[in-house]
Amino acid sequence: MQAIIAAAGIFIGTNVDDLIVLTVLFLSARAAARPTRHIWAGQYLGIGVLVGVSLLAALGLTLVPDRWVPLLGLVPLGLGLWGLIGAIRGGEDDEPPVNAAGALPVAGITIANGADNIAVYTPVFRTMDTFGVVVLVAVFAVLVAVWCAAASWLGSHRRVIDVVSRWGHWLVPLVFIAIGVVILTGAR
């Protein structure tokens, strides 16, 4: 039970910001009348990559040099700038502010937004036995579903929809730009 609580604490502590990003992605998908299954798949893929890289790093392998990790911020920064350009040009009202269609772009955003998670997960994995790692991964898998469900619910909440409908073409790209800049600058 202690391992489950610890794993849940690690996930929640490192993925609170991801809840906001997921909410934005669900809102964008709904605005474009697209299915949301690619968000779920991309989130699982992205978290899986973060966990996998952390496991490998814990084994002493260096897949991504530390100096390259901040470059992952280019993914949300690029999406945000694209959305902001569309808002400035006054695109169609029905057009979503940021459109990450497909599991791979969603996974890219998840990885970029969670690149700093590797710094947390790696030392945790180094101190765990095989059973602890299995428990942690299982808890993470359950909590990814909880995060997606919560973000989907937030993305269908009337007040959230009203705010995003009115200000989303500006707000959503700015959120992605901010995330990208934070990742690029390594600010914590």
Query: Cα–Cα distance between 76 and 42 in angstroms, integer?
Result: 14
pLDDT at 96 (0 to 100): 47
107-147 tens-digit pLDDT: 988 888 776 688 778 878 877 889 999 999 999 999 999 99
Residue with tokens 């800049």: 181
pLDDT at 178 (0 to 100): 77
Are 14 and 113 in contact by the 8 Å Cβ rule? The answer is no
29-52 tens-digit pLDDT: 887 788 889 999 999 999 999 999
**CA dist 55 to 7, 93, 107, 119, 182, Å?**
15, 44, 18, 11, 24
Look up residue 154 and give its amino acid: L
Boundaries of domain holding 101 = 2-185
Are 97 and 28 in contact by the 8 Å Cβ rule? The answer is yes
Question: Could you tell me the pTM of the whole model?
Answer: 0.70
Mean pLDDT of 66-81: 73
Query: Cα–Cα distance between 169 and 95 in angstroms, integer?
Result: 9
pLDDT at 41 (0 to 100): 95
SS3 of residue 143 by DSSP: helix
Return mean pLDDT, the chain: 80
Are 174 and 86 in contact by the 8 Å Cβ rule? The answer is no
Neighbours of 94 (CB within 10 A): 8
Are 29 and 39 in contact by the 8 Å Cβ rule? The answer is yes
The distance from CA 179 to its chain's CA centroid, rounded to whole angstroms, is 10
What percentage of the chain has pLDDT greater than the value 90? 23
DSSP type of residue 156: T
Are 27 and 155 in contact by the 8 Å Cβ rule? The answer is yes
188 or 151, higher pLDDT: 151
pLDDT at 98 (0 to 100): 53
- Phi-psi bin for 33: left (phi > 0), alpha (psi -120 to 50), beta? left
**Among 185, 180, 52, which Cα is nearest to 109's?**
180
* pLDDT surpasses 90 at 150: yes
Q: Please tell me the total count of domains within the chain.
A: 1
